[in-house]
Amino acid sequence: MRHDVVYLIKNDVDSEELRYSLRSVCMNFPFRKVVIVGGKPSDIHPDIYIEDIQIGSTKWEKAKHSLLKALSCEELTDDIWLFNDDFFVMDQVKEHADVNYFNGTLEKRVIDLKRKNPSGSNYISNLDQLRRHLIVKNKDTLSFALHLPMLINRKKALDLLSSNLHVTCMFRSLYGNYYEIDCQYMKDVKVYDCEKIPDTPFISTTDKTFREGKVGTFLRKYFDKPCQYEITEEERLRDQIKENYDEEGEIRYEQ
């Protein structure tokens, strides 16, 4: 059975990256339905939309609020693929290739981040909090914090979040280690360099590299055809014309 692809979207998101991500999914990724949770651009129509005015003081808390809504939605498949709007599927993914990825350990990630930022940050603190939490629970401490799709089970994820409310972020690493999911090692595919165009099965961009970098130009050319989830100019014009007529087909006049 194919799984639903779920995007957790900020309420004020720009639609451009999302449009190209959806094109890449339609071209290369096996799925049942596309689901958007949170904000929805007016020119995107997913199979399922779950509105969510995200609550929280940080982006992790807001994402978690939308994630809980998705996990609780019985319309969705039992297992779902978590996507971000800046994930792009570059190669054809085989049917039933249910693979998750990790890229090292939380210990190494904490050390690397502290080396770059000796004064620390909330992100580093939360990462180290999760590492210690997993050790206490006698779990592995792999890092699943990659910019790649992740397959999760809705019920398992909902149970996990409900019983670990004090863990404020790093859901992917929390889930992956708690349930000891099958996984493969892969380097992260996030592109931070405006001059770089990677040859990888997935690509993830920043706002800057998508807007100004060579990788953004490449993606826009590579996925140049609209997909079924986009509203075209012709459709938008047709909808505008329809708004000028009532149910009997008579032209509406201003009162």
Rg (CA), the chain: 20
Q: Structural domain boundaries of the chain?
A: 1-93+189-255
Going through 10-165 in order, the beta strands assigned E by DSSP cover 34-38, 48-51, 79-83, 87-89, 100-102, 150-153
Q: How far apart are CA 250 and CA 253, in angstroms?
A: 9
Name the strands in the sheet holding 202-205, side by side, starting at the edge strand that comes first in the sequence. Answer: 87-89, 202-205, 190-191
- Minimal CA–CA distance to 161: which of 82, 235, 68? 68
Residue 232: the pLDDT is: 72
Q: How far apart are CA 234 and CA 9, in angstroms?
A: 26
pLDDT of the chain, 255 residues: tens digit per residue: 899 999 999 887 778 999 999 999 999 999 999 999 998 898 999 999 999 987 777 777 888 889 999 999 999 999 999 999 999 999 999 988 899 999 999 999 999 999 999 888 888 988 999 999 999 999 999 999 999 999 999 999 999 988 865 565 689 999 999 999 999 999 999 999 999 999 999 999 999 999 999 999 999 999 999 999 998 766 666 655 666 666 666 666 554
Owner of token pair 């409310």: 165
210-227: burial string, b at 16+ Cβ within 10 Å, e else: beebebbeebeeebeeeb
Burial class (CB in 10 A: 0-12, 13-18, 19+), 233: exposed
Rounded (10°) angle between helices 171-178 and 154-163:
110
Residue 239: the pLDDT is: 57
Q: Phi and psi at residue 106, in whole multiples of 5°?
A: -65, -35
Question: Are the C-beta atoms of residues 141 and 103 closer than 8 Å to each other?
Answer: no
